Structures are given as C-alpha cells and as structure tokens.
Structure 1
Amino acid sequence: MTTPTVVLVHGAFAESASWNGVVADLKRRGYPVIAIANPLRGLREDAAYLRSLLDSLTGPIVIAGHSYGGSVLSEAADGVPGVKALVYIASFHLEVGESTGELAAKFPGGELGPALNPVPFPGGTDLYIQQDEFRRVFAGDVAPEVAELMAATQRPITASALEDKATKAAWKTIPSWTMITLQDLNIPAEAMRYMAKRAGSTTVEIDASHAVTVSHPNAVADLIDTAARATTS
C-alpha cells in the first residue's frame, strides 16, 4: 500500500485534540497524520483554509471530517487530485445549495438547538453549547471528567457558518465512507443514513454519541484505515 497522509477535520464545539486517540492509533499503524485547527468562521473561509493545506501535500491523501468538518471537507476536496477517500464521522455530506443547519434539522431527534448559547462578537454571533448541557447533547458516552474539559475548551462556530450553502460536493467524484452514530443528539442517525445513501457511501453504524472520536477512537481509526486501504493499495 502507498501510505497516504490522513488529514483530520474537527467540527463545531470541538478542537483538534478531540482527535488525539484517533491520531495515536493511526500513527501506530504507520500513517502520517495532520489534525487541522478548523477556523469555524464560515463554510467558504474554512474550506479555503483546508484547501491550502491539501494543496501543500504530496502523495495520496485521505480526509476524515467530524460533524461540520464533513461540510468543510466536501467543499475543500473537490478537484484535489491527491485526495483518494473521504471519511465522514458523525458528519454532513452536503449537496450543492444545502446548508449544515438545514440538514441537521431535516429529520427529528436533534436536541442541540435549545442547548446553544449565542454570544455576539463584532461582525457576527458565535454559538457555544451551554457547559452544563454539553455532556448530555454532545458527549453522552464520554467520561464526565473528560466531557467537562471538552465543554470548557470547546471552539465556537459562527451562526452564519451553519447557514452557508455548499457550492461543491466532493463526494460525487471521490469514494466515501460514513460512520453513523446511533446515540447522536446533534445529527439524527436517520439524517446520516439519508446523506450516506445519497452519496453512495460505505457505511458502518456504532452505538455512540456525537463525540465518537473521543469515546471510540479505535473504531474511527479502523474506518479510516479501511478507506485508505481500499483506495490507495
């Protein structure tokens, strides 16, 4: 196998360290790994930031995105010849013209909205998950002490980023794999199934919360490894 570089893209209310367990597993398997700091400022801006990194890499690339990170990678990876596989972890596969917020609300079961705390800043509004609600809605299967740290270190996303409409859909031309989290209160499992089916994505389902990269890092690494072996051997 030609070993690809694995690029990991976190979503809203998380940060690069949310991939730590996945990174450790992938490194043990011999993969070079980069977990980027997703700006969470707007779909166009975030995709341009990721694209600049992708354009700097040589050789094959596998990209995995968690949550809103899937929206970003679908926009950024379109037309990048080195990208061989897309891996959506409790994530979004947007069609052109759709927004992250629209897909999150397409099916019942999401409980994120009432738990959000809007914080105005010059030029926009940031969204945080209320810390006393963080574990329940985001990280239900994560140890309480870890979830407490995650709540305190969460990265906010601008409200407008969730409303931005996709202009590209890399999953139409690049093979994809999807992990569907059955205890997810951010993106209903039915929404993930809908998006994965539409994309022709290879799917696995796991009994986990939205914070699956923290609670089940080895299962996440397994799926990324599967995608890499299927597309770069």
Structure 2
Amino acid sequence: MSTPTVVLVHGAFADAGSWAGVITELQSDGIAVIAPPNPLRGLASDSAYVASVAAQVEGPVVLVGHSYGGALITVAGTTENVVGLVYVAAYALDEGESLGELQNRFPLSPLVGNLKEWTYPVAGGDPAVEVTIAEDAFPSVFAADVPADVTRVLAAAQRPLAAAAFEETATAAAWRTKPSWALVAGADNAINPEVERFGAKRAGATVVELEGASHAVAVSRPKAVADLIRDAVRATS
C-alpha cells in the first residue's frame, strides 16, 4: 500500500497557516501534505468541501482535523480513499449530533463567554451571524502557551465561524469504520478537554494527552502533533 497523503483541516478562529510547524515536520520526513482553507460556513457545506479535496488526492488520505475541523473529518472521512482520522484538540461527533449538543454535556469552556458576533451578507436573505473570539480574551482562551507576539498576530488574523455551524448535525461518523487517533490538549480553554477525551474514547481512538497544552497545540507543540500524525501514516501505509 502507498504512503497516505496527509490533509490538514484547520478549525475556527484560525487558518491553514496554523499548521506551518506541523507541515515542516511532516515534509522533513517526506510525507505529502495538503492544508486546504476551511470555509467555516457550516458543517454540511464545509464537510462536503473537505471530502471533495480528499477525493481528488491520488491514493490514500489521512484526514487531520483541529477543533471544529474534527467535526468535518468525522463526516468527510467516509470518502472512499480516506484510511485514517486524526483529531487534534478536536470535536469527534457522532452521527446525528451537533457541536452544541456535545459541548453542552460538559461544563462550558471560557470560549463560550468570550465570543464576539459579526454579520455577513447572504445572497437573497437576511445577514447571517458569525463569531470570533474577543481579542483581549484570545490569548488565554486559544493560545495560552504561545508567545505573546505570535498570539497578537493570531488574534488579529482570526477567521470567523458561522454561528449556524454549532447547530448543524453530523450526517455520518467515519470513526465507526476507520481507525482514529486523538490528541487531547490538557489545558484547552476553547474546548473543554473532557469533550475531547469523551469523543476520543467513544471513537475508540488511540489517544495522546499533552499536559499544559493550549487549544493552539499545533502552533505551540508542532513536533508532538506531527508525531501522532506520523503514527497514523505508518499504521495506514
């Protein structure tokens, strides 16, 4: 079997550049990597986009999702050439479950009280709501273990998530039929680590937990994230 291509799916309030350190690590091992832009407009449409990217890759694919990106790989992972799933401080939904439902089973994280609402135009309809993290709260909520100068840039460059994404339900759970791995960020203030642990256990994932790691673990600890992805690539090659 050929070595899978790794497709990295970023989450809300970030962009594909957040994977830079992880990409460098994987490329140094000769692993093919793609980090497409996540539209962040809704679970169904974003999952369809990720699935379309994966389907156009020649050969097998390991899908890696950070945060909200985990919900997307859960659905998009049913694509035929996807051979493994890696959750990085992420939501691992079940079929018929929404982000809101999964979150609400556990104490809410500091993220919830620090969201700022914006609106964006929708063709033929009323403006829709999207959210970012309030800039003053961004360091503690998203990236507490990242240097302050880097965090200021990340806060300014946030990509907003459509608020409707919290209520859409997953139409599939690819972890039921495909192997999965999960990294739990032990000091995550954006997603309650208990949410990450619960989803990973339910999925039967191989789990690594990083004590003291923030939600921005791919930025702060790229080698540890890349090591878990390497494990998934090796196991599915």
TM-score w.r.t. length of structure 2 = 0.95
Kindly report the root-mean-square deviation, in angstroms, between the aligned alpha carbons of the 2 structures: 1.1
Structure 1 residue 81: Cα displacement = 2.3
Q: Following TM superposition, by how much is the alpha carbon of 1:204 offset from its aligned partner in structure 2, in angstroms?
A: 0.5
Answer whether contact 1:99 1:163 (CA < 8 A) is retained.
yes
Measured in 2, the distance between the counterparts of 1:168 and 1:58 equals 23
1:199 corresponds to: 203
> Which region of structure 1 is more displaced relative to structure 2, 23-32 or 122-131?
122-131
Task: Tell me how far apart the structure 2 counterparts of residues 100 and 18 of structure 1 sit (CA, whole Å).
Answer: 22
The residue number in structure 1 matching 2:61 is 61
Q: Which is further off, 174-183 or 49-58? A: 49-58
Question: Letter of the aligned partner of 2:222 in structure 1?
Answer: P
Alignment partner, residue 138 of structure 1: 142
Hey, what's the Cα distance between the residues in 2 that align with 1:38 and 1:160? 15
Provide the residue aligned with 2:31 in structure 1.
31
Indicate conservation of the 8 Å contact 1:4/1:60, yes or no: yes
| Distance across 1 between alignment mates of 2:108 and 2:39 | 27
Corresponding residue for 2:124? Answer: none
For 1:69, the aligned partner's letter is: G
Query: Which residue, out of 176, 183, 186, partners 1:179?
Result: 183
The equivalent position to 1:147 in structure 2, one of 132, 147, 151, is 151
Secondary structure at the aligned position of 2:227 is classed as helix
**What TM-score does the superposition give when structure 1 sets the normalisation length?**
0.96
User: What is the identity, as a one-letter code, of the residue corresponding to 1:20?
Assistant: A
Whether the aligned pair in 2 keeps the contact of 1:8 and 1:33 (CA below 8 Å) is yes
Aligned runs of 1:161-180 on 2, under 5 Å? 161-180=165-184
Q: Which residue of 2 aligns with 1:158?
A: 162
Name stretches of at least 5 consecutive residues in structure 1 with no aligned partner: none
**What number of residue pairs does the alignment pair up?**
231
Percent identity, aligned pairs only? 50
Secondary structure, in 3 states, of the residue corresponding to 1:75? helix
Distance 2:7 2:145 in 1: 25
Equivalence for 1:2 = 2
Q: Partner letter of residue 91 of structure 1?
A: A
Give yes or no for contact 2:55–2:80 (8 Å, CA) kept in 1.
no
Structure 2: gaps of 5 or more residues: 122-126
